[in-house]
Structure 1
Amino acid sequence: MAPRFHMVESGPRPVAPFSHAVEDDGWVILTGQMPTDPAAPDAPLPEGIEAQTRRVMDNLALILGKLDLGLEHVVQCRCFLTAFERDYALFNDTYKSYFPANRLPARTTVGVTALAVGALVEIDLIARRPTGEVS
């Protein structure tokens, strides 16, 4: 089966040339999401790392949901923070609230010098469809 490239009509407006997700053989890779509001893409970003992390996680969940998946299907996340030392602890508190304590995906978190649209955080992820399910 060839890879499938997904654009979610109600998803966040892309800030670069990419698909929201690419799927192959049950693996679903979501492009890094920014803390933009899909309903108001030109609105200012939320203030602070907690609000931006929530918006990013909600955007990821929205895309997964449109692909008949949820955060429970996530196996790995990559997280990027522009103010790593300042924001890491609060970011972790917010991020982990989206997953059961016994079901945390594998994760890498990296401090970076800048992100698109002036964001404080960006997260991409890999999810896996349950065996036998293909969308």
Structure 2
Amino acid sequence: MSDLLFHMVQGAPRPVAPFNHAVEVDGWVMVTGQMPTDPNDPEAPLPAGVEAQTRRVMDNLKLVLGGLGLGLDRVVNARVYLTEFRRDYAAMNRVYESYFEPGRLPSRTCVGVTGLACDALVEIDLMVRRP
């Protein structure tokens, strides 16, 4: 096993807790769950509604991946957390799916939770494999 690489990506959203944007080992990259925060204005209010928040989360994930020279096409697994599962599941799925090529969706787990940091409606983390 190679050494762990701890990544903080310039231009990605400021962490809301003590963590790195990603940790890498042996070609595997674990991307910390991203919140729907504005990377250019961390104090800005969160977008309204799960669709806008899911777009922001996915865009933030793309920022982190881009800073590591990767894209969503390398995602192996995603975990999605929703605070209003029944209400928001279908809307979140529509936005989430639009970020991937048809027929190339990663494996995924989606769970309902009682709360998320920043009072967000959605958080998504990723497992990615380098080519």
**Structure 2 length as normaliser, TM-score?**
0.98
Residue by residue over 1:47-88, the C-alpha shift from the partner in whole angstroms, topping out at 9 and shown as x without a partner, is 000000000000000000000000000000000000000000
The answer on whether the counterparts of 2:77 and 2:108 sit within 8 Å (CA) in structure 1 is: yes
Shift of residue 111, structure 1, vs aligned partner: 0.2
- Which amino acid is the alignment partner of residue 95 of structure 1? Y
Structure 2: tracts of 5 or more residues without a match? none
Residues 7-18 of structure 1 mapped to structure 2, 5 A cutoff:
7-18=8-19
Q: Which amino acid aligns with 1:123?
A: I
Task: Show the 5 A alignment for 1:51-66.
Answer: 51-66=52-67
1:33 aligned residue: 34
Provide the C-alpha distance between the structure 2 equivalents of 1:62 and 1:16, rounded to a whole number of angstroms.
18
CA contact (8 A) 2:82 2:111 kept: yes
Structure 2 residue 24 is matched with structure 1 residue 5: no
Other structure's SS at 1:90 match: helix
- AA aligned to 1:67 is L
**Deviation of the 1:9 alpha carbon:** 2.1
**Is 1:122 the counterpart of 2:123 in the alignment?**
yes
Aligned to 1:111: 112
Deviation at 1:18, TM superposition (A): 0.3
Aligned length: 130
Q: Distance in 2 between matches of 1:58 and 1:22?
A: 19
How large is the RMSD of aligned CA atoms in angstroms?
0.5
**Letter of the structure 2 residue corresponding to residue 91 of structure 1:** M
Matched with 2:71 is 70
Q: Which amino acid is the alignment partner of residue 108 of structure 2?
A: R
Which digits, 9 at most, give the CA deviation of each residue in 1:8-56, with x for residues without a partner?
Answer: 1211011100000000010000000000000010000000000000000
Q: Which runs of 5+ in 1 are unaligned?
A: 131-135
The ranges of structure 1 where at least 4 consecutive aligned residues each deviate by more than 6 angstroms after the TM superposition are: none
TM-score normalised by structure 1 residue count: 0.95
Give the SS at the match of 1:11: coil
Equivalent in the alignment of 1:133: none
CA distance in 1, matches of 2:12, 2:59: 10
